């Protein structure tokens, strides 16, 4: 390492903690955002789409018409609504291949328009739900279809039942309605489960990059090799336990998730343990500088 690099590192570690730590947090935030949403414009579109998810439903889209005709050619006019909903789900699952959003869009999550789903030919639960809702809204069925989510899965609610794999407990967290987005704050407890599942199924390679970023930004002046290795092991162990514990969205392994939390708490303790020593060293440097 050259003299200039050493000088930069020295100045960096001599910054007051109230300057240094916000910068470190900002660096981690930028890395995390780049990992989960490499395309900022796609992220903005995603947020905008969720302001009114039902706007993604478009039964009049020209590209949808061939699918409407193909679907209705297989439906008996006397078929009860329950079986119609089941047929639509099976039809959509056949026509739209399942693929995670990071495979299709390169992002952790994205709510696509109907045109985008049909153009790509593959999507996850939210894109498939958009297609199903559009098919059900189209004549001659003309169901009143809306998108619903519990933070983990997106399905379709209609005036004649639900489809696209609604959970057994059917605890709706967010609904797209005619009056706009409706959030059921009583189900906010679903978020930890959804986040654990999101971590579990997301590409581990990207998450390792984030763990390394957190580790590097946590290292401080005067850290020994042992403390640095222990911190990295705790962060990696926490990630591993979280991925194992959240791999099933409706049957999570809660104890493993708590073990992950314990790993991260101990990691914080290891990081904080070095702060007093660093402050003493910095104060000593200031005093020595004043004497000179």
> 44 and 140: one domain?
yes
Per-residue pLDDT of the chain (292 residues; tens, 9 = 90+): 554 544 555 566 667 777 888 999 999 999 999 999 999 999 999 999 999 999 999 999 999 999 999 999 989 888 999 999 999 999 999 999 999 999 999 999 999 999 999 999 999 999 999 999 999 999 999 999 999 999 999 999 999 999 999 988 778 899 988 888 898 888 888 888 889 999 999 999 999 999 999 999 998 777 889 999 999 999 999 999 999 999 988 888 999 999 999 999 999 999 888 554 444 444 444 444 444 4
Q: What count of Cα atoms within 13 Å lies in the side-chain half-sphere of residue 275?
A: 12
What is the helix (H) or strand (E) element at residue 289, kind and residue range? helix 275-291
| Residue 14 DSSP code | T
Listed residues 188, 215, 231: the one ending a domain? 188
Q: Which of 188, 214, 249 is the last residue of a domain?
A: 188
Looking up tokens 């007093």 gives 276
| Separation of alpha carbons 263 and 235, rounded Å | 7
- Do 136 and 199 lie in one domain? The reply is no
SS3 of residue 155 by DSSP: strand
Q: What is the CATH number of the domain that holds 141?
A: 3.10.620
Indicate the Cα dihedral angle 72, 73, 77, 79, nearest 10°. -80
Coil/strand/helix, residue 218: helix
User: Roughly how many angstroms between the first and final C-alpha of the chain, as a whole number?
Assistant: 28
Query: Do 68 and 167 share a domain, yes or no?
Result: yes
86/156 same-domain check: yes
86 and 176, same domain (yes or no): yes
The answer on 261 and 166 residing in a single domain is no
pLDDT of amino acid 284: 45
Answer for the pair 135, 88: CB distance below 8 angstroms, yes or no. Answer: yes
Q: How many independent structural domains does the chain possess? A: 2
Could you tell me the pTM of the whole model? Answer: 0.86
Does residue 241 share a domain with residue 127?
A: no
Q: Which residues pair with 123 in a beta bridge?
A: 98
What is the separation of C-alpha 67 from the centre of its chain, rounded to a whole number of angstroms? 31
Largest CA distance in the chain: 95
Quote the DSSP letter at residue 185: G
Quote helix, strand, coil % in the chain, to nearest 5: 65, 10, 30
Distance in angstroms (rounded) separating the CA atoms of residues 148 and 135: 16
Q: Are residues 199 and 240 in the same domain?
A: yes
Shared domain for 227 and 113, answered yes or no, is no
Q: Are residues 166 and 53 in the same domain?
A: yes
Same domain (yes/no): 227, 262 = yes
**For residue 241, which of 215, 218, 261 has the smallest C-alpha distance?**
261
Last-in-domain residue among 150, 171, 188: 188
**Distance, C-alpha 27 to centroid of its chain:** 19
Structural domain including 167 reads: 40-188
Bridge partners of residue 162, in order along the sequence = 157
- The verdict on 181 and 234 lying in the same domain is no
On whether the CB atoms of residues 67 and 93 are closer than 8 A, the answer is no
């Amino acid at each position: 390492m050259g003299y200039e690099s050493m000088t930069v590192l020295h100045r960096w570690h001599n910054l007051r903690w109230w300057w240094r730590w916000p910068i470190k947090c900002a660096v981690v935030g930028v890395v995390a955002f780049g990992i989960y949403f490499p395309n900022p414009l796609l992220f903005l579109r995603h947020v905008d789409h969720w302001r009114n998810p039902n706007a993604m439903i478009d039964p009049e889209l020209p590209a949808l018409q061939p699918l409407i005709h193909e679907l209705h050619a297989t439906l008996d006019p006397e078929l009860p609504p329950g079986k119609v909903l089941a047929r639509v789900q099976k039809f959509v699952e056949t026509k739209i291949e399942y693929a995670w959003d990071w495979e299709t869009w390169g992002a952790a999550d994205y709510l696509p328009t109907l045109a985008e789903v049909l153009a790509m030919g593959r999507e996850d639960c939210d894109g498939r739900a958009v297609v199903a809702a559009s098919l059900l809204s189209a004549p001659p069925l003309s169901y009143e279809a809306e998108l619903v989510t519990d933070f983990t899965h997106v399905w379709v609610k209609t005036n004649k039942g639900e489809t696209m794999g609604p959970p057994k407990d059917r605890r709706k967290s967010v609904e797209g309605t005619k009056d706009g987005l409706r959030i059921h704050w009583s189900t906010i407890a679903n978020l930890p489960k959804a986040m654990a599942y999101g971590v579990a199924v997301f590409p581990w390679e990207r998450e390792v990059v984030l763990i390394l970023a957190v580790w590097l930004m946590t290292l401080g002046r005067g850290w020994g090799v042992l403390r640095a290795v222990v911190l990295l092991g705790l962060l990696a162990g926490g990630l591993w336990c979280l991925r194992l514990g959240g791999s099933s969205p409706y049957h999570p392994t809660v104890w493993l998730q708590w073990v992950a939390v314990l790993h991260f708490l101990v990691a914080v303790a290891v990081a904080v343990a070095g702060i007093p020593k660093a402050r003493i060293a910095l104060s000593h440097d200031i005093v020595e500088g004043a004497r000179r």
